[in-house]
């Protein structure tokens, strides 16, 4: 058995509007790399380096790599220690599943190293323990996308996950307002979501989420976009994103198929069919709308990404 491996997992967007805590889409913009080494003893040591390492905890119970690592060691019944080096290339606090990328890369790497034959459902459950440590809940949408790639549906208790390959012409524009990053942002954003939902709102979400899932299954980008609205979280989170409604309208008017807050925000994601719309025009329309709301912003264009992979070991 080898005692060291390196893995990579891409960032992701979660929710896509109607799929709060259920839908994720891996994005090829940023990826975290994780190196794991089995050591003597029982201690888990985490080192963090890379462009976005500032402010990332090294404490194994606060870094999203720690809880999945502990759980995988437990599953393996091996009394080993670990040295985990996180190369943090995914910026945090933007709504791009930064903690999920780390948790997914660590889960991929260590399950490989320990030669554990775990199902995707199990891997996603284990990776989601990292989200619990960081945001308070073990949501599976970001970790599922970073682990499996493409569009994922993470559902049920105990967890189940499936991944669908997105349509080839699907592109994403992510526009980010340059506002101060809120500390413990995901935790705060989740507090804004009411505990109860009226039945007619649940009905709207079920219908729209079904349209998104069917759109991915059929490769129909317009259908995907038609479901990207939400009654559960967005009405309460829109206040965290200056000019959200105007930015959304601007993106749709310039050809986006659908628009939503990316994960817990504050970035906004527009999905489009590159045969039908120019992603740079959509991005400029979004940043202009932010400007009209006295908010500086920037955007990037990206596409769906593959799942986590082993780079060496
Ligand atoms: N589904 C989660 C949320 C994603 O919206 O709170 C957090 O990145």
pLDDT digits (tens, 9 = 90+) for 63-73: 999 999 999 99
| 36-62 average pLDDT score | 95
How far apart CA 181 and CA 92 sit, in angstroms, is: 9
Q: What is the mean pLDDT of the chain?
A: 96
pLDDT of residue 142: 97
pLDDT over 70, % of the chain: 100
pLDDT of residue 135: 85
Q: What is the pLDDT of residues 175-201, one digit of tens each?
A: 999 999 888 889 999 999 999 999 999
Decide which of 287 and 133 is more confident: 287
Which residue out of 107, 176, 186, 302 is catalytically annotated?
186
Element (H, E) at 145: helix 141-148
Which residue has its alpha carbon closest to ligand 1 atom 1?
21
Q: What is the pLDDT of residues 256-268, one digit of tens each?
A: 999 999 999 999 9
| 45-61 average pLDDT score | 96
pLDDT of residue 114: 96
Does the structure show a pLDDT above 80 at 80? yes
pLDDT of residue 181: 84
- Which atom of ligand 1 lies closest to the CA of 95? 8
- Which atom of ligand 1 lies closest to the CA of 193? 6
All domains of the chain in start order, with CATH = 4-165 (3.30.230.10), 170-302 (3.30.70.890)
DSSP states of 2-40 as a string? -SEEEEEEEEEEE-TTT-TTTEEEEEEEEEEEEEEEEES
End-to-end CA distance of the chain: 10
pLDDT of residue 136: 86
| 124-138 average pLDDT score | 92
Highest mean pLDDT among 41-45, 54-58, 217-221 belongs to 217-221
C-beta pairs of 192-199 under 8 Å, 24+ apart in sequence: 192/233, 192/236, 192/237, 192/239, 192/240, 193/20, 193/232, 193/233, 193/236, 193/237, 194/236, 197/231, 197/232
Q: What is the pLDDT of residues 137-146, one digit of tens each?
A: 899 999 999 9
pLDDT of residue 152: 98
237 Cβ inside 6 Å of ligand 1: no
Does the structure show a pLDDT above 90 at 279? yes
pLDDT of residue 15: 98
248 Cβ inside 6 Å of ligand 1: no
Q: Among 135, 150, 89, 83, which Cα is nearest to 113's?
A: 83
- Which atom of ligand 1 lies closest to the CA of 141? 1
In whole angstroms, how far apart are CA 159 and each of 30, 48, 102, 153, 180? Answer: 26, 29, 20, 10, 34
Counting every residue written for the chain, the total comes to 313
240 Cβ inside 6 Å of ligand 1: no
pLDDT band at 285 (very low <50, low <70, confident <90, very high): very high
Q: What is the pLDDT of residues 9-21, one digit of tens each?
A: 999 999 999 999 9
Does the structure show a pLDDT above 80 at 130? yes
pLDDT band at 1 (very low <50, low <70, confident <90, very high): confident
Do 227 and 18 contact (CB within 8 A), yes or no? yes
Does the structure show a pLDDT above 80 at 112? yes
pLDDT of residue 2: 86
Instruction: Determine whether 186 is an active site residue.
Output: yes
pLDDT of residue 218: 98
pLDDT of residue 271: 98
132 Cβ inside 6 Å of ligand 1: no
């Amino acid at each position: 058995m080898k005692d060291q491996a390196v893995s990579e997992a891409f960032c992701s967007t979660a929710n896509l509007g109607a799929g709060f805590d259920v839908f994720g889409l891996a994005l090829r913009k940023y990826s975290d790399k994780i190196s794991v080494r089995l050591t003597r003893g029982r201690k888990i040591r985490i080192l963090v380096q890379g462009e976005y390492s500032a402010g990332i905890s090294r404490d194994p119970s606060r870094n999203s790599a720690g809880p999945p690592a502990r759980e995988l060691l437990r599953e393996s019944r091996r009394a080993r220690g670990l040295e985990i080096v996180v190369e943090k290339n995914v910026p945090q606090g933007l709504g791009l599943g930064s903690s999920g990328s780390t948790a997914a890369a660590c889960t991929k790497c260590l399950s490989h190293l320990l030669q554990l034959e775990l199902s995707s459902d199990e891997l996603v459950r284990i990776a989601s323990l990292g989200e619990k440590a960081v945001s308070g809940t073990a949501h599976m949408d970001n970790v599922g996308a970073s682990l499996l790639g493409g569009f994922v549906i993470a559902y049920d208790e105990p967890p189940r996950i499936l991944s669908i390959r997105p349509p080839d012409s699907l592109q994403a524009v992510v526009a980010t307002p340059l506002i101060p990053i809120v500390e413990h942002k995901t935790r705060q954003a989740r507090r804004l979501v009411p505990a109860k939902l009226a039945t007619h709102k649940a009905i709207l979400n079920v219908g729209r989420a079904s349209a998104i899932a069917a759109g991915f299954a059929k490769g129909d980008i317009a259908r995907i976009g038609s479901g990207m609205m939400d009654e559960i979280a967005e009405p309460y989170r829109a206040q965290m994103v200056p000019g959200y409604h105007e930015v959304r309208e601007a993106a749709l008017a310039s050809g986006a198929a659908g628009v939503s807050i990316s994960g817990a925000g504050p970035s906004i994601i527009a999905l489009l069919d590159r045969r039908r719309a120019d992603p740079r025009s959509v991005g400029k329309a979004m940043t202009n709308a932010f400007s009209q709301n006295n908010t500086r912003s920037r955007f990037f264009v990206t596409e769906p990404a593959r799942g986590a992979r082993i780079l060496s070991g």
